[in-house]
Amino acid sequence: MLDDYSEVAENIRLKYRYLDLRRPSVQKSLMLRHRVSRTVRRYLDDQGFLDIETPVLTKSTPEGARDYLVPSRVNSGQFYALPQSPQLFKQLLMVAGFDRYAQIVKCFRDEDLRADRQPEFTQIDCEMSFVDREDVMTIMEGMIARVFSDGIGVEISQPLPRITYAEALDKYGVDNPDLRFGLELVELTSIVKGCGFKVFASVADKGGMVKALNVKGAATFSRKELDDLTSFASIYGAKGLAWVKMTADGWQSPIAKFFTPQELGEIEQALGAEEGDLLLFVADTAKIANESLGRLRQHLGQKLGLAKKNDFSFVWVTDFPLLEWDDDEQRHIAVHHPFTAPLDEDVALLETDPGKVRAKAYDLVLNGSEIGGGSIRIHDQAIQQKMFALLGIDDEEAREKFGFLLDALSYGAPPHGGIAFGLDRLTMILAGTDSIRDVIAFPKTQKATCLLSEAPGEVGEKQLQELGIRLRKPAK
């Protein structure tokens, strides 16, 4: 009921946004956004980037999310797509000989919304020729440091820390870890293999993972609080959440009786367990164990007040997988996008074990939110075609969707790469607010509507006829 009331209250606020814009807090957030944009433009100009506009009406290409489509009146039955990013165009600029491109640009994705996501959003979009990962990250660190200094008077020390994707999952369970606090995850699979607790033992025997985290001083949690944590973990696929309270008399837990004294000691040592601690365990596939405990870790960081809003903890996450297997479609899909280059030392694995290929990709994470992501691009036509083949895109489809890029690559392209930052999300964090709507002048609701202008809305039959569109009546 409270959530329903909150949504109604938020919708009322958005309906009268023109009055809301008079509030000092909203004006302060929008002024901060202005300062961020101004600082970014000045910094990138100083670094030799050219501000070049790219098309808004473009072609639908598979980039992850659903496109917003725009019907063409002149070319009846055909559609433009609003860009999810200027990815292909900025690569073409590099092929054409421009050294550095930048743009603060509107992008569009038709996807489910949440507090830090809007259907139309603003990217700080950059691309550079003759660079590798370190070049991109170093230049962008300077930009972020300038934004924080000019925007809120906070000095950021450089270089920013870096961890690999594998390290992020191992220690934090997710690829966007919040490093303002500890609570690192610990794998216990080898310790519990063959133990008397069948839930753990069977998962370990089947190649799954048993993982845990030690919540220091949380042995005082009530049974209801533990049940709430179990429910939270289940959102991310966990079938259960085992718990242990460390007391003066040892383990207080329904699972304590299933372990030998030696196993108890090994688990305590691995987790650094002491009296007063709360140990939480998940046994499942590696994906579920990592994500459920990783999200639980972030939830506990907020619940226990470990994540301070005025602390800013950055980390670059690198060496992402290039591909992941989609069980539904029975094929590989790109983790980032189809134009991300593999690590040089992993190129041979494209033929033998594509699932193990790592990408020249990098995300900048701030306080558990990905604020920017990019990669070094494929500049070799043969590798690009091999990538398409692994994604199940045959030559005919590749030619239809990306022919202009393949043609450009065939003439020779420099090594190039880039990155895009979410201006809205970055400003949201700088402003200390929990909703991206607070830093956008006229945001959409969770249902992607504008209550102020009442968009989207119906159009007249004449307009539909001009576009060659007939509406289908919704099923009753």
Domain count for the chain: 2
- Which of these three, 263, 283, 303, is where a domain ends? 303
Question: Each residue of 150-179: pLDDT tens digit?
Answer: 999 999 999 999 999 999 999 999 999 999
Q: Are residues 198 and 160 in the same domain?
A: no
Look at residues 238, 239, 267, 240 and name the one whose alpha carbon lies nearest to residue 251.
Answer: 267
- Do the Cβ atoms of 285 and 208 come closer than 8 Å? yes
In this structure, how many other beta carbons lie within 10 angstroms of the beta carbon of residue 79? 15
Say yes or no to pLDDT of 13 above 80: no
Q: Are residues 144 and 199 in the same domain?
A: no
CATH of the domain at 118: 3.30.930.10
- Do the Cβ atoms of 445 and 14 come closer than 8 Å? yes
pLDDT class for 2, splitting at 50, 70, 90?
A: very low
Question: Each residue of 376-391: pLDDT tens digit?
Answer: 999 988 898 889 888 8
Q: Are residues 249 and 270 in the same domain?
A: yes
- Do the Cβ atoms of 215 and 277 come closer than 8 Å? yes
- Which of these three, 303, 336, 369, is where a domain ends? 303
**For residue 14, is it within any domain?**
no
Question: Each residue of 335-358: pLDDT tens digit?
Answer: 888 889 999 999 999 999 999 999
Mean pLDDT, all residues of the chain: 91
CA distances 155 to 28, 121, 146, 284, 321, Å, are 21, 27, 8, 42, 33
pLDDT class for 235, splitting at 50, 70, 90?
A: very high
What is the pLDDT, as a whole number, of residue 1? 38
Q: Are residues 47 and 97 in the same domain?
A: yes
- Give the domain extent around 214: 181-303
Q: Are residues 157 and 88 in the same domain?
A: yes
What is the pLDDT, as a whole number, of residue 401? 79
Pairwise CA distance, residues 266 & 282, whole Å: 17
Q: Are residues 232 and 319 in the same domain?
A: no
Q: Are residues 68 and 156 in the same domain?
A: yes
Question: Each residue of 66-111: pLDDT tens digit?
Answer: 899 999 999 989 999 999 999 889 999 999 999 999 999 999 999 8
Say yes or no to pLDDT of 8 above 80: no
Q: Are residues 349 and 267 in the same domain?
A: no
First vs last C-alpha separation in the chain: 28
To the question of pTM greater than 0.85 for the whole model, the response is yes
**For residue 8, is it within any domain?**
no
- Which of these three, 303, 333, 358, is where a domain ends? 303
What is the pLDDT, as a whole number, of residue 353? 93
